[in-house]
Amino acid sequence: MRYVVILVLGALLGAGAAVYFLRIGPARSTPGVAVRPPDAQAPPATVVIGLEQGFVDAVLATTFSGLGTPTFQLTQSAGSGEFKTAAFQSGCTNSITLLPEGSGVKTGVQFKNGVVSAPLAFTGSYNFTGQCIQFKGWAQTNIKLYFEAAKQTVYGNVEVEGVNLEGVNPIANTFVTVFVQSAINQRVNPLVLVSEKQLSLLIPVKASNGTVKARAKDVRAEILDGSLKLHLTYEFSGVRGEGT
């Protein structure tokens, strides 16, 4: 029992120390409202667009092969300029680099059981009180969808569910978990998944010298095994003088 209590206290203190030493601020809120599942009866003026697993896999493969491994850097605002310089000179970059594959996990986005999940293999390092900690492993993340009608944009918010490290003690695991979540909050969230240019529609009607404009007023998500379907409900307006 004493051993269990020590572990629990160590985890709590470790999380608190990680927030203090890394100067992690509150996560930025994702704009809009959470996207809900579609109703049984679709409203009028609703269209459905689908995103297949194969398409997402191809985008990720091209990213790693054509653009290189994405790296997210997290600066330590608590340190002085001298501290930051020393950290970089010692090889500690305070960064996380995503890998296409590592620790027995393949980085990707998966549609399954009503959830958009994203296992992420990574390697990285951070300077903690003058000591450089190198780490590698993988994180299990989920992506929650949000829709902001004013900006006609569908956002994604990446949430870290857990971090699995290779050969690192539980206390360090707590630090790295906070570090990974903070890097994602500061450098990744919110993700722009569908922009206004992709969501809004313009339908020229030359005979009437005008245009029918369509704006999404509601977005629902249907997450199936291997695909994501967005149910878009539009409202229409006519504008004269823009037929060309």
Q: Which residues pair with 136 in a beta bridge?
A: 123
For residues 150 and 155, give the distance between their C-alpha atoms in angstroms, rounded to a whole number: 13
Chain centroid, CA 58 distance in Å: 18
pLDDT greater than 50 at residue 20: no
CA distances from 209 to 166, 200, 214, 240 (A): 65, 20, 17, 6
- Identify the CA nearest to 146 among candidates 220, 41, 225, 49: 220
For residues 138 and 136, give the distance between their C-alpha atoms in angstroms, rounded to a whole number: 7
- For the beta carbon of residue 79, count every other beta carbon within 10 angstroms: 17
At residue 203, the pLDDT reads 87
At residue 83, the pLDDT reads 35
For residues 177 and 122, give the distance between their C-alpha atoms in angstroms, rounded to a whole number: 12
| Amino acid sitting at position 7 | L
Q: Is the pTM of this model over 0.85?
A: no
Looking at the structure of the chain, the number of domains it has is: 1
User: Which string of b and e fits 44-62 if b means at least 16 CB within 10 Å?
Assistant: eebeeeebebeebeeebee
* Tokens representing residue 193 in the block: 């998944």
pLDDT tens, position by position, 42-73: 999 999 999 899 988 898 888 888 888 988 87
Q: Which residues pair with 195 in a beta bridge?
A: none
Q: Which residues pair with 141 in a beta bridge?
A: 118, 160
The per-residue pLDDT of the chain, averaged, comes to 79
Q: Are 41 and 224 in contact (CB under 8 A)?
A: no
Domain limits at 114?
2-25+32-240
Alpha helices in the chain (DSSP H): 2-22, 53-62, 81-89, 170-187, 196-199
For residues 73 and 93, give the distance between their C-alpha atoms in angstroms, rounded to a whole number: 8
* Tokens representing residue 181 in the block: 């979540």
Where is average pLDDT lowest: 60-74, 76-90, 198-212?
76-90
Mean pLDDT along residues 100-107: 93
User: pLDDT higher for 210 or 93?
Assistant: 210
* Tokens representing residue 31 in the block: 């704009």
Q: Are 147 and 187 in contact (CB under 8 A)?
A: no
